[in-house]
Amino acid sequence: MNVRALNLFTKIALHGKGKAYFTNKYQSFTQLEDEYVVINPLSAADEDDSFIQHIKNSHGFKNVNKYACPIWTILHEIGHLRTNDDVEDDPDTRNFCQYAYDNGLLDYDQINSLYYDMPDEWAATEWAINFVKSHKILCKIFTYLI
């Protein structure tokens, strides 16, 4: 994995609006209050296929597999920064997903489906898809580089 290429792609996608940090200690996430994303290159490379399938099946973006998983992870996290003012968080569903996971109430795919369909998660993914559509060549170059 080319972490330098990931870093450069992230900076380009952020376009000076927010910061990015890279770590191997945590899963990728967004800190909305301080406007930064944390990207774990290792977990981004091993992204669960359910996220990619969600983009393809629920969002209808059939070309999802033409772009590397880390590209999607980075853009999704940046999408949270860009759409934060437009959507509300759904803490009840988020808490239920965690509870269902911790207690084995639902299988992994069912939990992911609920999670990915929350308004803030959906909006962040839509932002990522629109970025890819608007910057196809850039995303393909970085898919090749990483």
Average pLDDT over residues 14-30: 91
For residue 60, is it left (φ>0), alpha (ψ between -120 and 50) or beta? left
Domain spans in the chain, listed from the N-terminal domain onward: 3-145
pTM score of the predicted model? 0.91
pLDDT at residue 42 greater than cutoff 80:
no
Average pLDDT over residues 84-103: 92
